[in-house]
Amino acid sequence: MTDKEEPSEAAVQAAAEVWVVVGRLRRKLQSLLGGVDGESDLSPAQASVLARLDKIGPASASDLAAVEGVRPQSMAKTVIALETAGLVERHPDPADGRRQLVTLTGPGLERRQDDREARRAWLARALDERGTEEQVRAVITAMALLDEVAQA
């Protein structure tokens, strides 16, 4: 398909459904980070920063703000909250002593891994309980396509 051709009706419907379902799934997975009442002690922004640091390693607050798409002032508040909770710490950048790098602490890394495993386990159980083997395999196939689209 060229850029000027219209997508098929099926592709338009799939895009709309993916958008809705991904939003619902994201909210559900985020709610799993909480306690009995579903409330998390981490905000979505804080959880996102932990995930980002786990993925990319140490980063300055200004770099984190840029990749997270927030104002530096907002990121400073997020980093302070995470630091107060003992989940991150700041150290001078060895390449530029004027900058501070934010890094995960041991408890921060453990929290990130625990949260990721809890969400993975919930989703695996839910797929097993609600889907047939064929449906679960279809999800695997669909995820491969969506990943290809995301990386294009």
Q: Examine the pLDDT at 53 and tell me if it is beyond 50.
A: yes
Q: What is the pLDDT averaged over residues 129-135? A: 97
Compute the distance between CA of residue 25 and CA of residue 20 in angstroms, rounded to an integer: 9
Judge contact between 33 and 118, C-beta under 8 A.
yes
Compute the distance between CA of residue 114 and CA of residue 58 in angstroms, rounded to an integer: 20
CA within 13 Å, CB half, 67? 13
pLDDT in tens, 75-125: 999 999 999 999 999 999 998 888 999 999 999 999 999 888 988 999 999
Distances (CA, A) of 18 to 23, 83, 100, 123: 8, 36, 39, 17
Take residue 8 and report the two structure tokens written for it: 């098929």
Residue 86 backbone class (left: φ over 0; alpha: ψ -120 to 50; beta: rest): left
What percentage of the chain has pLDDT greater than the value 70?
93
3-state secondary structure of 97: strand
pLDDT of residue 152: 85
Q: Is 81 exposed, middle or buried (0-12, 13-18, 19+ CB in 10 A)?
A: middle
3-state secondary structure of 125: helix
Report the chain's mean pLDDT, rounded to a whole number.
Answer: 90
pLDDT in tens, 25-39: 988 887 776 543 444
Compute the distance between CA of residue 49 and CA of residue 3 in angstroms, rounded to an integer: 35
DSSP 8-state class, residue 24: H
> Which amino acid, one-letter code, is at 65?
A
pLDDT of residue 124: 96
pLDDT of residue 26: 85
Q: What is the pLDDT averaged over residues 61-78? A: 95
pLDDT of residue 37: 40
